[in-house]
Amino acid sequence: MRAFIFPGQGSQKVGMGAELAAASAAAREVFQEVDDALGQKLSAIMGEGPEDTLMLTENAQPAIMANAIAVLRVLEREGGISLADKGDCVAGHSLGEYTALCAVGAFTLADTARLLRLRGLAMQAAVPVGEGAMCALLGADIDKATALAEAAAQDEVCEVANDNDPGQVVLSGAKGAIERAVAMAKDLGIKRGVLLPVSAPFHCSLMKPAADAMDEALKRVPPQPFRLPLYANVTAASCTDPEAERLLLVQQVTGRVRWRESVLAMKAAGVDRFVELGGKVLGPMVSRTVEDVTVTSVVTMADIEALAKEL
């Protein structure tokens, strides 16, 4: 069985999509459609920067999605590959869940771009800049990370945001609590804690205003039936019902990204091939989480051509 997976924030970089756009009309059409939907030349920011503009959450989220969907469209059109025929399920990390839903027909490309722009703006607006923070814990399993979050909180928000793989967990919350967590990490047997260069504390209870904004947006633009099951971040379980998924997307804004558990659940369901489209971030996480699987990350035209031959 094969799962197609889609990366989240942090995989953006200046130059993303430029090679694909130069080589493929299918990719150019994706970038143009996203530009038109947003009323902005996002593709130019992706290709040329400036970096600080691309890194803004409201730009990074639709950019990462557009890049992954461009890879998918080139694969489908020029490789003659149908995701629904070649895949058994999909999943995405944080905003990547929206990309996955776009890939299987739950959202149009234009609606996905607009939803992610709104999501990025709402998440940024939920907490004043400088009041929230996130840190990555290296060499930490979920139990150690949870214990550290509880110890560092001291009446402030400090929560597990991403359970990425057996040795990497991300905490999110109030700046003071996250700084305490970094300082205390080694005391709890964690290799080290590293502050992340993010502009807001994603996936924690401080994001409640953003969850409310997405609840309203997803009532106006709800997911439609999708062609393959999706493993949702907040449940680490397969979902096929559009209304259930709408509610899960709202919960995802404040909820934990249970990526490690999602990978384990897909493996338990029989998935032995994972294909990451549009990034090279999730593949290593999968490899650190499960054994006896094939992991492929697809970004360039050469990657796409190689995958098309394999499929």
CATH of the domain at 152: 3.30.70.250
DSSP string, the chain: -EEEEE--TT---TTTTHHHHHH-HHHHHHHHHHHHHHTS-HHHHHHH--HHHHHSHHHHHHHHHHHHHHHHHHHHHHH---HHHH-SEEEESTTHHHHHHHHTTSS-HHHHHHHHHHHHHHHHHHS-TTSEEEEEEET--HHHHHHHHHHHHTTS-EEEEEEEETTEEEEEEEHHHHHHHHHHGGGGT-SEEEE---SS--SSGGGHHHHHHHHHHHHHSPPPP-SS-EE-TTT-SEE--HHHHHHHHHHHHHS-B-HHHHHHHHHHTT--EEEEES-SSHHHHHHHH-SS-EEEEE-SHHHHHHHHHH-
* One domain, residues 121 and 231: yes
CATH of the domain at 107: 3.40.366.10
* One domain, residues 28 and 107: yes
* One domain, residues 16 and 114: yes
Amino acid at 63: A
133-173 pLDDT, tens digit each: 999 999 999 999 999 999 999 999 999 999 999 999 999 99
In the annotation, is 203 catalytic? yes
In the annotation, is 93 catalytic? no
* One domain, residues 192 and 249: no
Query: Which residue in the list 94, 172, 262, 297 is annotated as catalytic?
Result: 94
Query: Which pair of tokens denotes residue 96?
Result: 């990547």
* One domain, residues 142 and 276: no
Domain that holds residue 153: 132-198
The domain total for the chain is 2
For residue 25, what are the contacts with CB-CB under 8 A and spacing of at least 6?
Answer: none
Q: How far apart are CA 13 and CA 199, in angstroms?
A: 16
Query: Which pair of tokens denotes residue 128?
Result: 């004043």
* One domain, residues 181 and 300: no
* One domain, residues 90 and 190: no
What does the pLDDT read at residue 198? Answer: 84
Q: How far apart are CA 5 and CA 274, in angstroms?
A: 7
* One domain, residues 32 and 72: yes
Sole residue written with tokens 């959202």? 107
Q: What residues of the chain score a pLDDT lower than 70? A: none
Out of 198, 226, 242, a domain closes at 198
pTM over 0.75, yes/no: yes
* One domain, residues 141 and 280: no
Query: Which residue in the list 11, 172, 203, 297 is annotated as catalytic?
Result: 203
Query: Which pair of tokens denotes residue 138?
Result: 């290296």
Out of 198, 218, 238, a domain closes at 198
43-60 pLDDT, tens digit each: 999 999 999 899 889 999
Out of 167, 198, 229, a domain closes at 198
What does the pLDDT read at residue 11? Answer: 79
* One domain, residues 153 and 94: no
* One domain, residues 14 and 109: yes
What does the pLDDT read at residue 247? Answer: 98
* One domain, residues 187 and 210: no
95-115 pLDDT, tens digit each: 999 999 999 999 999 999 999
